[in-house]
Homo-oligomer: A and B are copies of this chain.
Amino acid sequence: MAKDNKFVKDITSMDVDFAKWYTDVVRKAELIEYSNVKGCMVIRPYGFAIWEKIKASLDRRFKETGHENVYMPMFIPESLLQKEKDHVEGFAPEVAWVTHGGNEKLQERLCVRPTSETLFCDHYANIIHSYRDLPKLYNQWCSVVRWEKTTRPFLRSSEFLWQEGHTAHATAEEAREETQRMLNVYADFCYEDLAIPVIKGQKTDKEKFAGAEETYTIESLMHDGKALQSGTSHYFGDGFAKAFDIQYADKDGQLKYVHQTSWGVSTRLLGAVIMVHGDDNGLVLPPNIAPIQCVIVPIAQHKEGVLEKANELYESLKKEFSVKLDDSDKSPGWKFSEHEMKGVPVRIEIGPKDIEVGQVILARRDNHEKITADINNVAEALKDTLAKMQADMLERAKENRAAHTFAAKTMDELKEIADSNNGFIKAMWCGDLECEEKIKEEAGLTSRCMPFEQEEITDTCVCCGKKAKALVYWGKAY
């Protein structure tokens, strides 16, 4: 077969080198291309189409929970960034500074937003006056910049796309509820659309967001057993409100500070999808976020009636599904491999013999199962197959996570498990920063979260032996 007629996979096996496999898939599936701008990536059409699917589902969920989209400036004057002490300390070391506009030096330098708390606060101080103005439930889709030395597609780059919700409430209680509500929106989205199970929990003080009183997180486990922080939700109390003077006149006539939250997910979620579901043939996309849910590949398409029938099938399916008919002049083998690499959930094969006996073949991307369907009933078979695949992918991800979740009662046990495995390690913690740092130093593990579903493995800290305060999920993280 001519070279032109064979799609060359040439990606590293995930068992040989998972990191290399990851970047191979990212590039070979045409999700991202490197650019000549240090630390920045080009998100190519196929990668961006997945992001658009993710965005659409999340945006619908945000709007259903009463949130509105806005757009804030991309620049933050230095004096504004400095208003909240912890916040500026956390972010100043990693921002990009604009010092000149055209040929003139600016009187005050501006940073490109690394996150927009300060801008939202500044705006809220302008527009919130009365209890009638509350709550404010705003969200923004945009790109942010955090200067990074080392970069990895979707996981770590100087510029990335995300959404950031910023809300202001009359009471601490309402703000806390919002923090939980949005963490649940994220978790539901991961389960339902990404087919990724997540652990919901609270970050330790060491790991929380700069300026937050409490940070909540969803943590997922990649195929290689490493953890990925997949979304966070922060409770600010009235700290920012005091720094930015955001007060409202309550029903009782008193001036009170608002209570705030923020929450965000980013294009990192694409990294999670790749690393949870991918295999040695490339990407495997959950049907709910696949830009192409089904590709129709005609077999022996030069034979009479094949393309015609394939076209009929395409026309009948395209109203209900995202479907593509690949009638290019590449060989079927090339088309199979190419669409496998791109993770298209279902391939429909239709050839002269199939047409003769009135059937088509549906091939699932995830488990390579082949299903024979009546040619007059393909829509139903496809619908069932996509639903089953979506459910099976979640189940397999759960199984993989269960197989990579361990428990440790002593420091020796913790180190031993960490030495020989990647995965979540459950172990008790006394709450002291010192122990957290020691576990990082000696076992190479960071605290992922204190899960909402607490268990009591022992009643003492795995590190110091003092009374335990909480169960913690520990792990090696991206």
| A residues in contact (CB < 8 Å) with B | 33, 35-38, 40-45, 48-49, 51-52, 68-77, 80, 92-103, 110, 112, 119, 122-123, 126-127, 138, 142-143, 145, 147, 158-159, 161
Q: Cβ of B161 and Cβ of A71 under 8 Å apart?
A: yes
Q: Cβ of B98 and Cβ of A102 under 8 Å apart?
A: no
Q: How far is the CA of A97 from the CA of B112 in the complex (A)?
A: 11
Q: How far is the CA of A49 from the CA of B63 in the complex (A)?
A: 12
Q: Cβ of A71 and Cβ of B42 under 8 Å apart?
A: yes
Q: Cβ of A95 and Cβ of B102 under 8 Å apart?
A: yes
Q: How far is the CA of A101 from the CA of B94 in the complex (A)?
A: 7
- Chain B residues contacting A70 (CB-CB under 8 Å) are 42-45, 48
| A97-B100, A145-B74 known; A123+B43 contact, CB < 8 A | no
Q: How far is the CA of A122 from the CA of B122 in the complex (A)?
A: 38
Q: How far is the CA of A96 from the CA of B110 in the complex (A)?
A: 10
**Which 5 residue pairs are nearest across A and B when measured between Cβ atoms?**
A40-B73, A45-B68, A101-B147, A43-B71, A97-B100
Number of copies of chain A assembled together: 2
Q: How far is the CA of A69 from the CA of B51 in the complex (A)?
A: 10
- Chain B residues contacting A37 (CB-CB under 8 Å) are 73, 75-77, 80, 110, 119
| A72-B35, A76-B37 known; A103+B93 contact, CB < 8 A | yes
Closest partner residue, chain B, to A108 (CB atom): B38
Partner of A94, one of B71, B76, B102, B112: B102
Given contact pairs A48-B68, A52-B69, a sample of 8 additional A-B residue pairs in the complex whose CB atoms are under 8 Å apart: A33-B123, A36-B77, A37-B80, A42-B123, A71-B143, A75-B159, A95-B101, A112-B112
Q: List 8 A-B pairs, Cβ < 8 Å.
A: A35-B119, A35-B122, A37-B73, A38-B77, A48-B69, A71-B143, A94-B102, A96-B101
- Chain B residues contacting A72 (CB-CB under 8 Å) are 35, 42
Closest partner residue, chain B, to A51 (CB atom): B71
Q: How far is the CA of A74 from the CA of B114 in the complex (A)?
A: 13
Q: Cβ of A143 and Cβ of B74 under 8 Å apart?
A: yes
Q: Cβ of A69 and Cβ of B93 under 8 Å apart?
A: no
